[in-house]
């Protein structure tokens, strides 16, 4: 509640929250989905470190992604997007080169194909276009965005959610009321009240990614970034990560992958930029992100003004009703 | 864990198309609006619906009745209408009790309400509301207690109960003064979320809610007071109902696609019932001065209409959060128009 920018616009969130000059630089994630392999190591590492309960037997039957979405029991979520789209110009050509170098022809190993029984697939090895599937996989590890203007934090009536010295947003589970107000407030649908499984800790309490606050405090890397085998999840100072992200997008554009774009890195967007931002290969909504999220508290001053006007109308209306005729 | 109907292929090439406005009755009504095309991740929700259940719309409704009743009681006190004053004060306390029980039930335990009082946060409508209730509640309680004392036979009104006579009017008037924010803040409570149909309604929802509160509490007054005292509440019932209906219409107009959930399913039925009941109640209030039966009937219709409005708006918001369409389409349309939400530096003040 400090300066005039508190509800919208580019600010250093930790400074805005009142941390002194000697605070550490803002920390965050840059998730480069172009190199995510969908191994879900981040999901597992997060659950292990943060003691997030598993939710068993959630086979959804719609895709290979069975962890559904970010929620109270899922602080990292790897989305598997199966698109009817070729891989673009991404052509490794490694196999043919290797075969030619060895002077070999491709040998059919009789592996099971993708077609229904009895249907012959075209011979492999003749043409790369045949080998190449006519769909592509996009994989993306989603996480709490640690917004510059965090609606969850702003609407929390107990002060359970707070801004850490690293500029991240953390829930104190011993203070949280379980009122659930932060849940609909989040424009990304990240935070949620834990529903179960029975017997696990903090049931009924709002839960989400803490950006491993406990690990940051001792100078360590968050568990998910530590576990990521491809460095798809990069952790560091937000300033530096933004530079790195811009360089990576340029690199991809030069390679002809014009679909590559950054999401959440712009400090002048609807949430003041996020602490965790992403390199995406398609529109944000493909990954289950809102295309142009806005922090709800941006409109809060006007909301209170309207409510104040409505309250006055009620007061005046009631007073008028009693004026005049006796009956 | 929820598993909604999942049929869509994610990805821009497999963009999914859904009808705007849903199924229409008859065949002749052609939609002139283009169908909303959008992409989503397996049709899974983007924003999360609030975890709130029926407690919250009950809380919204009861809070409105309490606020309106306190206003009526204050007015009745000043204009010498003892029965209306009594029913207003007791009604306010009863409704306040219902709303507090609903709130505490939603939170799980009473101590959690106290937990809310450890901070005062202007950015949190729930914190603001908690404080408004904490200021309003005691006055409404004292006014109701004084009312109860005045109903006791004189020989029991001795001792400390004599103080009631002094607290009576100030407490009642202060309760009336702090009542309007109680009725209005609940709209901000809903609007200050990313739930599409609640947020999009923020301009008009406070007026819908105060209109609804006025109509409902006036309805309670109509039921509980004799005809010769109900003049003001009949006017208030009519005014509240008209305000609610007009502002609801305007609200739907400004909400764009997010008004759709107000017309579908359970929310649609509730909103339709709310409109019918409120219109009936308002019409009844015109004749309620002649017959006690009409007064009671009209009062009941107004109360039920107000409850349906709260439940309908609540339900529509929940539905809007469950369908990614209402999150993606308005944002995508905004982007396609080339007006993404961006921070623009305020103009520099002129140097003097």
pLDDT tens digits, one per residue of A18-36: 999 999 999 999 999 999 9
Q: What's the CA gap between A113 and A121, in Å, rounded?
A: 8
Q: Is B273 helix (H, G, I), strand (E, B) or coil?
A: helix
Q: How far is A96 from chain B (nearest CA, A)?
A: 30
**What Cα–Cα distance (Å) separates residue B120 from each residue in A153, B129, B179, B324, B325?**
13, 10, 19, 34, 36
Beta carbons of B184 and A65 less than 8 Å apart: no
Q: What's the CA gap between A69 and B218, in Å, rounded?
A: 46
Selected residue of A179, A273, A290, A295 to mutate for chain B interface (largest B Cβ count, 10 A): A179
Q: How is residue B76 written in tokens? A: 């009745």
pLDDT at residue number B255? 95
Nearest Cβ partner of B10 from A179, A192, A286? A286
Q: Of A49-58, A107-116, A124-133, B283-292, which range is least confident? A: A124-133
Q: What's the CA gap between B63 and B279, in Å, rounded?
A: 22
| Beta pairing, strands A276-280 & A261-263 | antiparallel
Q: How confident is the model at residue A325 (pLDDT cuts 50, 70, 90)?
A: low
Mean pLDDT of B16-25: 40
Q: How far is A237 from chain B (nearest CA, A)?
A: 23
Higher per-residue pLDDT: A99 or A12: A12
Beta carbons of B11 and A192 less than 8 Å apart: no
Q: Of A107-111, A156-160, A170-174, B86-90, which range is least confident? A: A107-111
Mean pLDDT of A187-194: 95
Is residue B209 within 8 Å of residue A310, measured between CB atoms?
yes
Q: What is the average pLDDT score of chain B? A: 88
Q: How confident is the model at residue B6 (pLDDT cuts 50, 70, 90)?
A: very low
Q: Which chain A residues are closer than 8 Å to B179 by Cβ?
A: 314
Q: Which chain A residues are closer than 8 Å to B191 by Cβ?
A: 296, 299, 303
Selected residue of B45, B46, B187 to mutate for chain A interface (largest A Cβ count, 10 A): B46
Is residue B302 within 8 Å of residue B221, measured between CB atoms?
no
Element (H, E) at A143: strand A136-143
Q: Is A234 helix (H, G, I), strand (E, B) or coil?
A: strand
Cis peptide before A197 (omega within 30 of 0): yes
Size of interface A-B (CB pairs under 8 A): 290
Q: How far is A32 from chain B (nearest CA, A)?
A: 18
Judged against a pLDDT cut of 60, whether residue A292 lies above it is answered with yes
pLDDT at residue number B34? 59
Helices B55-79/B82-107 angle, 10° precision: 160
User: pTM of the predicted model, to two decimals?
Assistant: 0.88
By the CB < 8 Å criterion, does B283 face chain A?
no
Backbone angles phi, psi at A234, to 5 degrees: -115, 135
A262: β partners:
A279
Q: What's the CA gap between A293 and B346, in Å, rounded?
A: 21
Q: Of A181-190, A231-240, B343-352, which range is least confident? A: B343-352
Q: Which chain B residues are closer than 8 Å to A317 by Cβ?
A: 214, 236, 239-240, 243
Strands (E), chain B: 16-18, 36-38
Is residue B227 within 8 Å of residue B296, measured between CB atoms?
no
Q: Which chain A residues are closer than 8 Å to B184 by Cβ?
A: 307-308, 310-311, 314
Contacts with B268 (C-beta within 8 Å, 6 or more apart), sequence order: B261, B262, B312
Q: What's the CA gap between B81 and B73, in Å, rounded?
A: 9
By the CB < 8 Å criterion, does B314 face chain A?
no
pLDDT at residue number A320? 95
Judged against a pLDDT cut of 60, whether residue A317 lies above it is answered with yes
Selected residue of A258, A321, A325, A326 to mutate for chain B interface (largest B Cβ count, 10 A): A321
Q: How far is A86 from chain B (nearest CA, A)?
A: 11
Tokens 């009062």, residue located: B299
- Long-range CB contact pairs, B97-103, < 8 A, 24+: B98/B58, B98/B62, B99/B58, B99/B59, B99/B62, B99/B63, B99/B66, B100/B133, B100/B137, B102/B55, B102/B56, B102/B58, B102/B59, B102/B62, B103/B55, B103/B59
Q: How confident is the model at residue A103 (pLDDT cuts 50, 70, 90)?
A: low
Beta carbons of A314 and B184 less than 8 Å apart: yes
Is residue B209 within 8 Å of residue B180, measured between CB atoms?
no
Helices B55-79/A300-322 angle, 10° precision: 40
Q: Which chain A residues are closer than 8 Å to B214 by Cβ?
A: 314, 317-318
DSSP A272: S
How many other C-beta atoms can be found within 10 angstroms of the C-beta atom of residue A2? 10
Q: How confident is the model at residue B8 (pLDDT cuts 50, 70, 90)?
A: very low
By the CB < 8 Å criterion, does B131 face chain A?
no
Q: How confident is the model at residue A88 (pLDDT cuts 50, 70, 90)?
A: low
Beta carbons of B13 and A83 less than 8 Å apart: yes
Selected residue of B180, B225, B318 to mutate for chain A interface (largest A Cβ count, 10 A): B180
Q: How confident is the model at residue A93 (pLDDT cuts 50, 70, 90)?
A: very low
């Amino acid at each position: 509640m400090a300066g005039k920018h508190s509800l919208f616009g580019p600010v250093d969130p930790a400074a805005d929250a009142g941390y002194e000059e000697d605070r550490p630089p803002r920390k965050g994630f840059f998730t480069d989905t172009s190199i995510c392999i969908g191994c879900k190591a981040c999901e597992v590492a997060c659950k292990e470190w943060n003691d997030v309960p598993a939710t068993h037997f959630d086979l959804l039957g719609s895709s290979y992604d069975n962890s559904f979405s970010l929620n109270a029991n899922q602080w990292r979520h790897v989305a598997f997007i199966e698109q009817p789209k070729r891989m673009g110009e991404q052509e490794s050509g490694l196999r043919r080169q290797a075969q030619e170098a060895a002077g070999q022809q491709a040998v059919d190993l009789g592996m099971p194909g993708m077609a229904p029984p009895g249907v012959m697939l075209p011979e492999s090895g003749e043409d790369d276009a045949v080998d190449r599937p006519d769909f592509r996989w996009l994989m993306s590890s989603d996480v709490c965005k640690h917004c510059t203007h965090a609606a969850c934090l702003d609407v929390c009536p107990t002060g359970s959610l707070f801004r850490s010295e690293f500029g991240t947003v953390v829930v104190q589970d011993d203070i949280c009321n379980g009122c659930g107000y932060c849940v609909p407030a989040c424009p990304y649908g990240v935070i949620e009240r834990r529903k179960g499984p029975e017997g696990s800790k903090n049931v009924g309490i709002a839960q989400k990614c803490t950006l491993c606050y406990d690990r940051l405090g001792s100078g360590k890397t968050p568990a998910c970034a530590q576990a990521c085998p491809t460095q798809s999840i990069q952790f560091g100072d937000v300033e530096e990560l933004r530079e790195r992200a811009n360089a990576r997008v340029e690199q991809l554009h030069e390679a002809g992958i014009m679909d590559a774009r950054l999401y959440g890195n712009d400090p002048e967007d609807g949430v003041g930029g996020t602490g965790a931002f992403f390199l995406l290969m398609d529109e944000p909504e493909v990954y289950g992100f809102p295309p142009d999220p806005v922090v709800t508290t941006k409109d809060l001053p006007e909301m209170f003004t309207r409510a104040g006007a409505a309250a006055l109308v009620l007061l005046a209306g009631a007073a008028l009703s009693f004026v005049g005729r006796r009956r | 864990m929820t598993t909604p109907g999942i049929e869509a292929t994610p990805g821009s090439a497999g963009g999914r198309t859904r009808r705007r406005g849903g199924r229409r009755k008859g065949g002749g009504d052609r939609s002139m609006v283009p169908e909303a095309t959008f992409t989503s991740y397996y049709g899974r929700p983007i924003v999360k619906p609030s975890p709130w259940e029926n407690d919250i719309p009950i809380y919204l409704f009861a809070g409105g009745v309490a606020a309106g009743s306190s206003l009526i009681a204050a007015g009745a006190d000043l204009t010498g209408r003892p029965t209306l004053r009594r029913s207003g004060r007791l009604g306010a306390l009863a409704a306040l009790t219902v709303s507090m029980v609903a709130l505490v039930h939603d939170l799980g335990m009473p101590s959690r309400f106290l937990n809310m009082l450890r901070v005062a946060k202007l950015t949190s409508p729930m914190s603001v509301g908690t404080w408004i209730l904490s200021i309003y509640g005691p006055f409404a309680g004292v006014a109701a207690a004084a009312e109860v004392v005045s109903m006791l036979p004189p020989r029991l009104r001795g001792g400390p109960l004599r103080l009631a006579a002094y607290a009576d009017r100030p407490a009642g008037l202060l309760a009336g003064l702090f009542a309007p924010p109680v009725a209005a803040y609940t709209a901000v409570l809903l609007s200050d979320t990313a739930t599409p149909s609640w947020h999009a309604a923020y301009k008009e929802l406070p007026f819908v809610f105060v209109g609804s509160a006025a109509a409902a509490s006036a309805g309670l007054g109509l039921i509980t007071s004799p005809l010769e005292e109900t003049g003001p509440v009949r006017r208030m019932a009519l005014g509240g109902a008209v305000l609610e209906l007009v502002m609801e219409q305007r609200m739907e107009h400004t909400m764009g696609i997010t008004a759709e959930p107000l017309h579908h399913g359970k929310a649609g039925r509730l909103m339709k019932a709310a409109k019918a009941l409120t219109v009936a109640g308002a019409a009844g209030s015109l004749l309620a001065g002649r017959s006690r039966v009409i007064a009671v009937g009209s009062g009941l219709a107004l109360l039920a209409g107000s409850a349906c409005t709260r439940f309908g708006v609540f339900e529509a918001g929940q539905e809007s959060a469950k369908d990614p369409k209402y999150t993606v389409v308005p944002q995508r349309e905004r982007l396609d128009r080339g007006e993404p939400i961006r921070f623009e530096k305020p103009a520099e003040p002129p140097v003097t």
